[in-house]
Structure 1
């Protein structure tokens, strides 16, 4: 049994895998609850990906019989990393493209993670990770409109904003959400023009706002990072 942990900015996701099969998944907003869960679990192998600094401490919580790994830029990967500054590459991004390669090993893949930021990561059909782009996320854009103006309010996103807003609130909703959809469609189209056949994979906490609005055909995979972490763990176990 493999236990993988994706520790994000606001929550921790845990996946329990039997080889490549995701058997269970759990989410924790409180680190104390995460600690209780991990300390009560036994793993053959364990890996953690963290955008924070507590990975070393958390990695000691579960009882592990085999490999106990922390995803860092120095860890061997089941892909070729062509990023020029690998030490600055977010571990959640590399786990995402590893998940894309696991799901679609013979395709050009564009992984779009709609989280705090929107990240675009491209891995080609030969397993070369090329890099991508980072853009402000949905809620970050609403916050920026409010923070950097004198009178515009902080607005919450809605599922289907009108194209033409008829109030300040609906104008902000239209501008942020419809503008971001247009951005996503435009970037996907540029990748398609450059690389031809392309598999687009969408994940992240705000994916639901976009998966039915995009013109391009996409594959929604809410567990993509967990799948990628497990593939990295299996790769290292088999070294």
Structure 2
């Protein structure tokens, strides 16, 4: 069985090709409105498309699917219990991350940290129920906000693992404020959830996962493809 999972994010689109349950290929393209020609020329047994941005109408039209085509929506059945109070507003990426966490670590309490355009955290309990979490600005969003909403602060566009805690220039101070502040934020969340949930598993994904993997405390499972695998688990659940 050959399937494709497509994750349309705020800044670009990721896709994963699956043979059975195995992720055999993944890729990224910046155009959120147009499927790459190489994918248009292929036919898939099943497919799932999720978008946190606009309606993926053009991408859906470009897919050739012989079986089930799922457009992830509020009414789509999930392989996890959904305790979110407003399920119609829950982002597709957060649903997929929850499904992926429950798949990788069944019977465990899971905290997913997704460090992308936004930094989200999501909690899934040991019985496979998704409770919710939080959303805060991602690293680049914080850098842009400091530049946009002040008169003189420069735009910092690089992430440094060995940033200086005590900045001695404006650029160093911005790096320390954004990077150290974000690390402390996530370390604080991990500590709070560890008190709340025994045998907690912390899972890290997203575009800035590499930075946080090297700076966060404790044992962290970095699974960059978590959302794609979670989407595929949702697809399998609905076929």
TM-score by length of 2: 0.95
Q: Counterpart in 2 of 1:236?
A: 238
| Mean CA deviation greater in 105-114 or 145-154 | 145-154
Is contact 2:50-2:72 (8 Å) kept?
Answer: yes
Which of 161, 183, 186 does residue 184 from structure 1 map onto?
Answer: 186
**d(CA) in 2 for partners of 1:62, 1:150:** 46
2:102 pairs with 1:101: yes
Q: Counterpart in 2 of 1:160?
A: 162
| Mean CA deviation greater in 58-67 or 225-234 | 58-67
2:141 pairs with 1:126: no
| Mean CA deviation greater in 62-71 or 227-236 | 62-71
**d(CA) in 1 for partners of 2:171, 2:156:** 7
Alignment of 1:85-100 (within 5 A): 85-100=86-101
* Secondary structure of residue in 2 paired with 1:60: helix
TM-score by length of 1: 0.95
Residue 37 of structure 1 deviates from its aligned partner by 2.6
Residue 221 of structure 1 deviates from its aligned partner by 0.7
Q: Counterpart in 1 of 2:26?
A: 25
2:62 pairs with 1:54: no
**d(CA) in 2 for partners of 1:8, 1:49:** 8
What residue ranges of structure 1 are gaps of 5+ in the alignment? none
Give deviations 1:74-109, integer Å, cap 9, x for gaps: 001101100000111111111111111111112111
| Mean CA deviation greater in 77-86 or 150-159 | 150-159
* Secondary structure of residue in 1 paired with 2:103: helix
Is contact 1:5-1:48 (8 Å) kept?
Answer: yes
**d(CA) in 2 for partners of 1:80, 1:236:** 15
